[in-house]
């Protein structure tokens, strides 16, 4: 059988995310990295919503390459903090992607809080032949009072998904992907991509 793998640029510099999404997409699609298509600069993410940022990143890549591409943006929305860090999740504590500092700040800001409910929300913006589509996935959960686990990245050591007693960082990648915000958004993306082929 000579099935053609469909190439798609995934507009991310986050190697963890690339691995997670390639595993979810399976063999029908080959993800192309930004570096592989010559984009080494930081792509602007200046919108005030996840949807806006995902679209901004995808449009940037499409305008540079003219190739099918998608971008995602994820935020952790903590109810007791009015939805923060939300769209600012990557740069919550510092200007860089300092996961440890972000987690420390989150714990500090929730010190003594009774209500610790939160959700991860991912929005994916896809551009195929110049047409834009968006997909969303979310997972509800709570913020633990201390970090546990060493899998995953970002806020995973603090996030306990609803119905579980362990954090995302204590789960295997497969177990996390099966219920995660990005897993669910990518499932929607894949369902849609399969209708095209
Ligand atoms: P790119 O913009 O290069 O794709 P990023 O690390 O900024 O990578 P996002 O904008 O999607 O990724 O996510 C913003 C932040 O939210 C990210 O830096 C992490 O701190 C956190 N985050 C995203 N997905 C997560 C996940 O699955 N588990 C834990 N934290 C996550």
Token pair 């510099």 is found at 13
- pLDDT of res. 165: 97
Confidence category of residue 197, pLDDT binned at 50, 70, 90? low
Confidence category of residue 15, pLDDT binned at 50, 70, 90? confident
Nearest residue by C-alpha to atom 6 in ligand 1: 14
Total residues found in the chain within this entry: 197
- pLDDT of res. 3: 45
Q: Is 92 in the pocket of ligand 1 (CB under 6 A)?
A: no
Q: How far is CA 195 from CA 124, 159, 183, 192, in A?
A: 17, 34, 19, 5
CA-CA distance, 5 to 39, in Å (whole number)?
A: 22
Q: How far is CA 183 from CA 23, 27, 123, 166, 175, in A?
A: 10, 16, 11, 18, 10
Token pair 């209708």 is found at 195
CA-CA distance, 52 to 82, in Å (whole number)?
A: 19
Q: Is 156 in the pocket of ligand 1 (CB under 6 A)?
A: yes
- pLDDT of res. 4: 57
Distance 191 CA to ligand 1 centre (A): 23
Q: Is 17 in the pocket of ligand 1 (CB under 6 A)?
A: yes
Q: Which atom of ligand 1 is nearest to the CA of 182?
A: 27
Rounded to the nearest integer, the mean pLDDT of the chain is 93
Across the range 85-104, mean pLDDT stands at 94
**Lowest mean pLDDT: which of 17-21, 69-73, 145-149?**
17-21
Q: Which residues are designated catalytic?
A: 73
CA-CA distance, 165 to 23, in Å (whole number)?
A: 25
Q: Which atom of ligand 1 is nearest to the CA of 168?
A: 28
In tens, the pLDDT along 140-178 reads 999 999 999 999 999 999 999 999 999 999 999 999 999
Token pair 């995808």 is found at 58
Q: Is 72 in the pocket of ligand 1 (CB under 6 A)?
A: yes
**pLDDT(67) > 90:** yes
**pLDDT(78) > 80:** yes
- pLDDT of res. 27: 82
Q: Which residues pair with 196 in a beta bridge?
A: none
In tens, the pLDDT along 113-142 reads 999 999 999 999 999 999 999 999 999 999
Nearest residue by C-alpha to atom 23 in ligand 1: 74
CB burial string 121-144: b at 16+ within 10 A, e below:
bbbbbbbbeeeeebbebebebbbb
Kindly state the tokens that stand for 141: 């959960």
Long-range contacts of 140-147 (CB under 8 A, 24+ apart): 141/117, 142/116, 142/117, 142/118, 143/78, 143/106, 143/107, 143/110, 143/116, 143/118, 144/116, 145/107, 145/116, 146/107, 147/103, 147/107
Q: Is 33 in the pocket of ligand 1 (CB under 6 A)?
A: no
Distance 2 CA to ligand 1 centre (A): 36
**pLDDT(1) > 70:** no
Confidence category of residue 97, pLDDT binned at 50, 70, 90? confident
What's 180's DSSP letter? Answer: S
Confidence category of residue 94, pLDDT binned at 50, 70, 90? very high
Residue 72's φ and ψ, nearest 5 degrees, are: -130, 160
Q: Is 97 in the pocket of ligand 1 (CB under 6 A)?
A: yes
């Amino acid at each position: 059988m000579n099935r053609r793998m469909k190439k798609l640029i995934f507009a991310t510099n986050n190697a963890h995310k690339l691995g997670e999404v390639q595993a979810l997409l399976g063999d029908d699609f080959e993800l192309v990295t930004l570096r592989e298509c010559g984009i080494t600069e930081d792509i602007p993410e200046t919108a005030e919503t996840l949807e806006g940022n995902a679209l901004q990143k995808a449009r940037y890549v499409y305008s540079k390459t003219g190739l099918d591409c998608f971008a995602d943006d994820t935020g952790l929305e903590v109810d007791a903090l009015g939805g923060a860090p939300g769209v600012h999740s990557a740069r919550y504590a510092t200007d860089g992607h300092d996961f440890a500092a972000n987690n420390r700040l989150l714990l500090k800001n929730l010190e003594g809080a009774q209500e610790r409910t939160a959700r991860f929300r991912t929005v994916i913006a896809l551009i195929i032949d110049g047409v834009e589509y968006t997909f969303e996935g979310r997972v509800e959960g709570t913020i633990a009072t201390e970090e546990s686990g060493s899998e995953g990245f970002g806020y995973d050591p603090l996030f306990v998904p609803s119905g579980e007693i362990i954090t995302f960082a204590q789960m295997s990648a497969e177990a996390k992907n099966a219920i995660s915000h990005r897993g669910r958004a990518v499932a929607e993306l894949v369902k849609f991509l399969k209708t095209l082929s």
